[in-house]
Every structure is written in structure tokens, then in C-alpha cells.
Amino acid sequence: MQNKSFSLITLFLTCLPLFSQQAKEISHYLFPEFIPGTVVMKDGKRNPALLNFNAATEGMVFNQNGQVLALGEPSLSQTDTVFIGNRKFILHNNQFVEVLHGNGYKFFAEYKCRVIPPGKPAAYGGTSQTSSSDSYSSWASGGKVYELKLPDDFQVKPYTVYWLDKGSGWKEIKTVRQLKNLYKKRKEQYSQYTTDNKVDFEDQEAVAQLIHFMETN
């Protein structure tokens, strides 16, 4: 039933190469494995699938009949919401963001990562990293970006960009300093909360709790 209901949408999706799916350690994916979810289109159609989010390509992907497929145009622009388990994602500037809070103020997380291939041999037995653009093109063209587990000599550095909308437009939050500046008129309350509570900028739940406290007190 699942394959049949999803057959229509696959006509509009970009297919990507199939890779081994035995590995459970997915360092550049948001979830450790593909999870049952639903792609909801703007016309109300609901398409169940096994879904995951690739932070390296910043794309929503799904597993259908052993193939890894990416949600691409024209279906991407026709997508309203993606649910993965109990988590909700929407599109902003053509990129998927997770909805962390949606009542009153709106708070979102955009997941990204830097993938650093192994360095090239250099003089005196050392190594040198290529430029980010060269590195990306070399390992992406080789298909490694869609493998569920990258080689051990690759480095993966995940990071999160947050977005806050209090009714006057989306504000991007890339650093702790930017987050703190949002509440510079209430710096004592902000400082007291962050003193009493450990807030890791990469822990979306902790950051969401901080934002909720500042927006509701």
C-alpha cells in the first residue's frame, strides 16, 4: 500500500544512486536510520515514505524499494510539510527547516554540516586540505555524499542555524552572540537563565527552551 500511494510523487522526484544501507551510523544524516513519515503536498495529498534528512546536501531523502531518492523539483515547490516521526519540517527559502515552536512566536532549526575529505599528501609527510569548493565537488561527484556512512578518514562537523519569527519577519541566528543580542534589552533575565541552565547552541531543545522562556516571561 505504501509503495502504491507513493508511486505518483516519484514521477516528479530526482533519483539518486543506490548505496548499501546496512550501516546504522549516519554521521551526516539527521536520523540514524530512515524513519516512517509523510510528505504533505499543498493540494492536501499525503504520501507516506521512509524519510531522512541529509545535512550534507541539505535535502530531504527517502527510501523506496531499496533506492535512495531525493525530493526535487517540481515536487519540492509543491511540498507543504514533511513529517518524520513526530517531527515537522517546512520549506523556507527552498530549504527544509524543523519547526521547534509554532504557536505565537515561531522558532525553527536548519540543519547543516561540513564534510571534510582527507587531506592530500604534502611535503615532509604532512597533508593539506583542498579548498571547500574543490573538496565538495570531488567527494560529491564520487557519490559519497549519499552514502549512509562516510569513510573513516572523512570529518563531519554538524551545525545548526536557527530562525525566529515574532511576527515581523524571519530573523537568522547563527551564533550565540546573535541569540544574546535579540534580548539585549532584557540582558539580566537572559544572563540569569543561561547561568541557571546549561544551554548548548547545538542542542536545539535547550535553545528552544531558552527562546520559550524569553518569549513567554
Q: Is 31 inside any structural domain?
A: yes
Q: Taking Cα atoms as reference points, which of 62, 58, 72, 56 lies closest to residue 6? A: 62
* The predicted structure's pLDDT at residue 123: 45
Q: Is 92 inside any structural domain?
A: no
Q: Are residues 134 and 201 in the same domain?
A: no
* 176: containing domain: 106-113+157-216
Q: Are residues 58 and 23 in the same domain?
A: yes
Q: Are residues 169 and 135 in the same domain?
A: no
For every residue of 49-93, DSSP letters joined together read: EEEEEETTTTEEEEEETTEEEE--TTHHHHEEEEEETTEEEEEET
Q: Are residues 140 and 175 in the same domain?
A: no
* The predicted structure's pLDDT at residue 178: 95
* The predicted structure's pLDDT at residue 11: 35
Q: Is 174 inside any structural domain?
A: yes
Count of the separate structural domains present in the chain: 3
Which segments of the chain have a pLDDT < 50?
1-26, 121-138, 141
Q: Is 95 inside any structural domain?
A: no
For residue range 58-87, what is the model confidence (pLDDT) as tens digits? Answer: 889 888 787 777 888 888 889 999 999 999
Enter the pTM of the model.
0.75
Report the CATH number at residue 31: 2.30.30
Q: Are residues 148 and 178 in the same domain?
A: no
Q: Are residues 161 and 133 in the same domain?
A: no
Compute CA distances 15 → 77, 78, 129, 200, 205, whole Å.
17, 17, 31, 37, 33
Q: Is 25 inside any structural domain?
A: yes
Q: Are residues 35 and 65 in the same domain?
A: yes
Q: Are residues 131 and 200 in the same domain?
A: no
